[in-house]
A and B are shown apart, each in its own frame.
Chain A
Amino acid sequence: SQQGEEDPQALSIQEGENATMNCSYKTSINNLQWYRQNSGRGLVHLILIRSNEREKHSGRLRVTLDTSKKSSSLLITASRAADTASYFCATSYTGANSKLTFGKGITLSVRP
């Protein structure tokens, strides 16, 4: 299985702090995507990083990818209460119709 696994499973921080979430996977991938899910809602695409990229930024998000360690991290800087949600990494392997394989997710709580 190439499934991603995130850690920690739950993270609680104060507003304004940075949140770092990690994801590990088992097999070679084509890309890795991070999603956010508010309670009972849909999956919002945050950022994609390709296997030949090491770091990517989008607003307050920074994603890194280490293919030698088969791991990725998502950093949210200057967190806000509205960032409270579950965060998932999802991996995709090479293939035109490739499915996403999700991890179990990280529950992030940002205290005001």
Chain B
Amino acid sequence: EPEVTQTPSHQVTQMGQEVILRCVPISNHLYFYWYRQILGQKVEFLVSFYNNEISEKSEIFDDQFSVERPDGSNFTLKIRSTKLEDSAMYFCASRILYEQYFGPGTRLTVT
């Protein structure tokens, strides 16, 4: 069964560094999402992406964040200058109909 995959599974970075989180959505899906979950808290929407552009973004998704679908298969989330409060689990999701399918997540730890 097709799955959303994410790499790396765990990323440790220093404050101020740039990180790129990678996702490979399910191949025939058209809508792509990033969410995050700070430890012990609820899953929060960051951004949705369709037809090679951002369709919606949350207040969390400020100028430090960007997304890209560079080659028709990968979907990336970049954080330009990480802060301590960016430490969280980041989930990629994709859908073609209504169900959103999530990847296993990347645990980002900012020290």
Alpha-carbon separation in the docked complex, A30 to B97 (Å): 12
Q: Mark B62-99, 1 if CB is under 8 A from A, else 0.
A: 00000000000000000000000000010101000011
A42 & B91 in contact (Cβ 8 Å cutoff):
yes
Q: Which chain A residue lies CB-closest to B107? A: A40
Instruction: Quote the shortest CB–CB distance from A4 to chain B (angstroms).
Output: 9
A42 & B104 in contact (Cβ 8 Å cutoff):
yes
Q: B43 is contacted by which of A43, A45, A98 (Cβ under 8 Å)?
A: A43
* Size bracket of the B interface: 20 to 34
A45-B99, A97-B31, A97-B50 known; A102+B105 contact, CB < 8 A: no
- The interface residues of chain A lying within 8 Å CB-to-CB of B35 are 100
Whether a CB of chain B sits under 8 angstroms from the CB of A48 is yes
Majority secondary structure, B binding face: strand
Whether a CB of chain B sits under 8 angstroms from the CB of A109 is no
- The interface residues of chain A lying within 8 Å CB-to-CB of B58 are 99
The count of residues in chain A whose C-beta lies closer than 8 Å to any C-beta of chain B is 26
Instruction: Quote the shortest CB–CB distance from B14 to chain A (angstroms).
Output: 23
The interface of chain B, by Cβ under 8 A from chain A, is 31, 33, 35, 41-45, 48, 50, 55-56, 58, 89, 91, 93, 98-105, 107
Closest 5 CB pairs of A and B: A97-B55, A42-B104, A43-B102, A99-B45, A102-B43
